[in-house]
Amino acid sequence: MNITELIKFDKLQEENELLKNEITELKQQILYKEDFYFQLFCINCEKVDECILSNCSKNTLRKNYVLSDSSKYDKLPSKED
């Protein structure tokens, strides 16, 4: 290898390391469906998984997906970043 090829190779290795670090950081920000749990929420009586009012119907139940571990949320980037 001549000096020019060696410089190019070193630069590519450095860029490769930066990209590996960026990938590692992005992998930590991924949320999977297993990170959430499902619950039903009544919009009339505001109870979770059950209704306390006799006039509530199944039409008043809404699905909520709740993040299981809130520390994962804190690692997510905001739109301003």
pLDDT attached to residue 8: 92
Q: Please report which helix (H) or strand (E) contains residue 41, including its range.
A: strand 36-42
With bands split at pLDDT 50, 70 and 90, how would you rate the model's confidence at 15? very high
Q: Model confidence at 47, in pLDDT bands (50, 70, 90)?
A: low
Q: Helix (H, G, I), strand (E, B), or coil: what is residue 54?
A: coil
Q: What is the pTM of this model?
A: 0.48
Measured CA distances, 5 to 1, 19, 33 (Å):
6, 21, 46
58 with 35: CB under 8 angstroms? no
